[in-house]
A and B are shown apart, each in its own frame.
Chain A
Amino acid sequence: MDRIKALELSGAEIVVRCLQEEGVECIFGYPGGAVLYIYDALFKQDKVRHVLVRHEQGAAHAADGYARSSGKVGVCLVTSGPGLTNAVTGIATAYLDSIPMVVLVGQVPTKAIGEDAFQEVDTVGITRPCVKHNFLVKDVKDLAVTIKKAFHIAQTGRPGPVLVDIPKDLTAQDCEFLYPDSVSMRSYSPITRGHAGQIKKAAKLLLEAKRPVIYAGGGVILSNASDRLTELVRLLGVPCTNTLMGLGGFPGTDPLSLGMLGMHGTYEANMAMQHCDVLLAVGARFDDRVIGDPEHFAQNRRKIIHVDIDPSSISKRVKVDVPVVGNVDDVLAELLKLAKAEACGNAAALDDWWRQIAEWRARNCLRYDRASSIIKPQYVIEKLYEVTGGDAYVTSDVGQHQMWAAQFYKFDKPRRWINSGGLGTMGFGLPSAMGVQLAHPGATVACVTGESSIQMCIQELSTCKQYRLPIKIINLNNRYMGMVRQWQQFFHGNRYSESYMDALPDFVKLAEGYGHRGLKVERPEDVEPALREVFARKDELVFVDFVTDQTENVYPMVAAGKGITEMIFAEDL
């Protein structure tokens, strides 16, 4: 170490060098006073590409989409004060879905901190509850090691966003640059390997089960465990259901898949969850949108095995019998070993279980009116699936369209379905699609959205133009905040308070105004040809405005607070 002549760099250069050392190829940001030195350092190099968004929320979502689709850490850079506050929604979105992200923020100069200086906010205070961790760097000597720690914390254990607040004066000071190869923190050492005894118990339970179900969440995707999960499910021949965050963790087209479970899950998935005798939960957290009322869920006795990297996810809402804390992929590998060594016992019981599941499936709970003369949103997603060969990256906003995309696009691969599950952030779809497209330049990327959501980050159409991002925007335009309208119809006596979207822009002209192509589709028979045409345009962003049925609802539905099997079906209304 001492033989190498340490390099003297400015704080700003150190920031950029750290990114290079971390292998960061692309960051998303927006300049301002507090980060001008960093922007200057970015200007003077060409290893780290900077993508200029049009609003800092877009920067955070884009970094997030980049991370979700690639598995790498997403990075964004914003200025102090309003730059940071604009980004908070995006940071919280990443936090709730445990997405590895590093957020670099400018701060007013050290001496001005606490003086209500121009564009000063308490960044560390504001973001504390919505980051995995945050740092305020007080000395330029600490800058490199702090950034190293940020990358380390963001992508180990249960991943999450980590923020580094950097006062402007530090970025102008010179300091030796030494980037540590690794960091060790006595207060942070996440568990990875599961407890062998617990895994043995889990394997025994699974192999002896008569009515087993595997319930897989976003943790499977975050820990790159899809292959292992798929192998285990197929080896055991047991049903598997995925959460909204876990779609693609097990192939949606596999006959062993029950589809999504939860509030808008399939009948068969929710029934199987309720009536199984052994439940293996992997990288999932029994959240309220998934199992509904925990008391109702507990009415049926079953043995629960819960594999999760985060001890605090275990026995939080539901008591479990066999907790296994560890990295999902590692634990599944161990489970697989044990399962392979034993002959699977309960073939006859499993046959009965599958017969029962077939009966539930026969209910055909996702049925909709295919003869409709108005475009049904479900039909658009089905055709989107067909036209893209089931192989697109699909981002979504929040609302009915999100649920239809989750229900009708069968994801066979992980990291293809990109949506804000935990925070439910409208505005996520377009900027996250930019991150996806930048991480996968040649890939097909579709953003499924609604006319309300898309307007929350519509400015990013300009970013898409600048960087030639050929995203296909699938706008399911029902002239309503559809999901709000649906709840008002079901639970508020059809009083559609403020959920009608009036004075909508002409989306075709709007897209054209930003320099893109726009297309409006109004008849069911035009849906497929339009999609074929649009996806043939490999190099262009196309905004497709589908005029869809205003009254369509997402079925089945479990009302908030109800039991997981207390479902409302299309035929009930």
Chain B
Amino acid sequence: MRHIISVLLENEAGALSRVAGLFSARGYNIESLTVAPTEDKSMSRMTIVTRGSNDVVEQITKQLNKLIEVVKVVDLSEAAHIERELMLIKVRAGAKEREDMKRMADIFRGRVIDVSDNTYTIELTGDGHKLDAFIEAIDPALIVETVRTGTSGIGRGNRVLKA
């Protein structure tokens, strides 16, 4: 099962490596990991996407909680939540492909954010499936470069993760 784990942790040098080290030492897998400071600069918010049985994920959350710099942990996927990922994708867009490519970006509610003679750079947000679908939808030969941030997530409604 895929789980999205949100972690609130002290924004300190080394905190990230403690989390990464925990996952590798205990053989948990990380599908993606994103991290950045919150509105309170002394804290960072991390979103980890992992796969594992419920038992394994229970262990992951407990082990994360044990890290001294971790303030709070929640398994977002336990309840209603929203997830988003940002992708920047550079595609070949010469005279021949331009129009099609623009249409495709529109269908996926993407934006062209950079243009050169023969490329477009398209910005796309959504959940991972949507980004995958975009990649599937275009001719692989036209893809020059893709950059994905990995998933960020947040609980729906009043569900919050705060110190």
Contacts and interface: CB of A to CB of B under 8 A. Distances in A.
Interface of A: 124-125, 128-129, 132-133, 136, 153, 185-188, 310-312, 315-316
A185 B66 CA distance: 13
Q: Which of B58, B63, B66, B71 has the most CB of A within 10 A?
A: B66
A128 B17 contact: yes
B123 interface: no
A379 to B, nearest CB: 43
A81 B14 CA distance: 19
Contacts of B14: 124, 128, 136
B114 interface: no
B46 interface: no
A128 B25 CA distance: 11
Contact of B17 (A125, A185, A186): A125
A133 B68 contact: yes
Given A125-B17, A153-B68, A187-B9, 14 more contacts: A128-B18, A129-B21, A129-B25, A132-B68, A186-B71, A186-B163, A187-B70, A188-B68, A311-B66, A312-B59, A312-B62, A312-B63, A315-B55, A316-B59
B69 interface: yes
Contacts of B58: 315
Interface string B132-154: 00000000000000000000000
Contacts of A315: 55, 58
Contacts of B70: 187
A278 to B, nearest CB: 23
Interface string B20-56: 0100010000000000000000000000000000010
Contact of A311 (B13, B17, B65, B71): B65
A311 B62 contact: yes
Ranked nearest first, the 6 interchain pairs of A and B with the lowest CB-CB distance are A312-B62, A133-B68, A187-B71, A311-B62, A188-B68, A129-B25
B68 A187 contact: yes
A153 B10 CA distance: 16
Contacts, number: 35
A315 B58 CA distance: 9
B55 A128 contact: no
A212 B13 CA distance: 49
A454 B115 CA distance: 72
A186 B72 CA distance: 10
A316 B9 CA distance: 24
A315 B55 CA distance: 8
A315 B56 CA distance: 10
Nearest to A311: B62
Given A187-B10, A316-B59, A310 B66 contact: yes
Contacts of B55: 315
Contacts of B66: 310-312
Contacts of A132: 68
Nearest to B60: A312
Contacts of B17: 125, 128
A315 B60 CA distance: 12
Contacts of A187: 9-10, 68-71
Nearest to B64: A312
Interface in B66-105: 66, 68-71
Contacts of B163: 186
Contacts of A186: 71, 163
A322 to B, nearest CB: 16
Contacts of A136: 13-14
15 contacts: A125-B17, A128-B21, A129-B21, A129-B25, A132-B68, A136-B13, A153-B68, A185-B68, A186-B71, A187-B9, A187-B10, A187-B71, A310-B66, A311-B66, A315-B58
Contacts of B25: 129
A315 B61 CA distance: 13
Contacts of B71: 186-187
A132 B17 CA distance: 14
Contacts of A310: 66
Contacts of A316: 59
A188 B25 CA distance: 22
A186 B10 CA distance: 9
A132 B163 CA distance: 22
A527 B131 CA distance: 77
A187 B17 CA distance: 17
A204 B94 CA distance: 76
A129 B58 CA distance: 20
Contacts of A124: 14
Contacts of B10: 187
Nearest to A162: B68
Contacts of A129: 21, 25
Nearest to B13: A136
A311 B62 CA distance: 6
B56 to A, nearest CB: 10
B25 to A, nearest CB: 5
A531 B33 CA distance: 61
A471 B23 CA distance: 43
A133 B21 CA distance: 13
Q: Which of B9, B25, B63, B68 has the most CB of A within 10 A?
A: B68
A125 B62 CA distance: 22
Nearest to B14: A124
A136 B12 CA distance: 11
B161 to A, nearest CB: 13
A188 B10 CA distance: 11
A187 B66 CA distance: 9
Nearest to B69: A187
Contacts of A153: 68
Contacts of B21: 128-129
B115 to A, nearest CB: 41
Nearest to A128: B21
A316 B62 CA distance: 10
Contacts of B63: 312
B112 to A, nearest CB: 41
A310 B66 CA distance: 8
A381 to B, nearest CB: 37
Contacts of A133: 68
A153 B68 CA distance: 9
A311 B63 CA distance: 9
Contacts of B59: 312, 316
Nearest to A187: B71
Nearest to B62: A312
A36 to B, nearest CB: 26
A186 B43 CA distance: 11
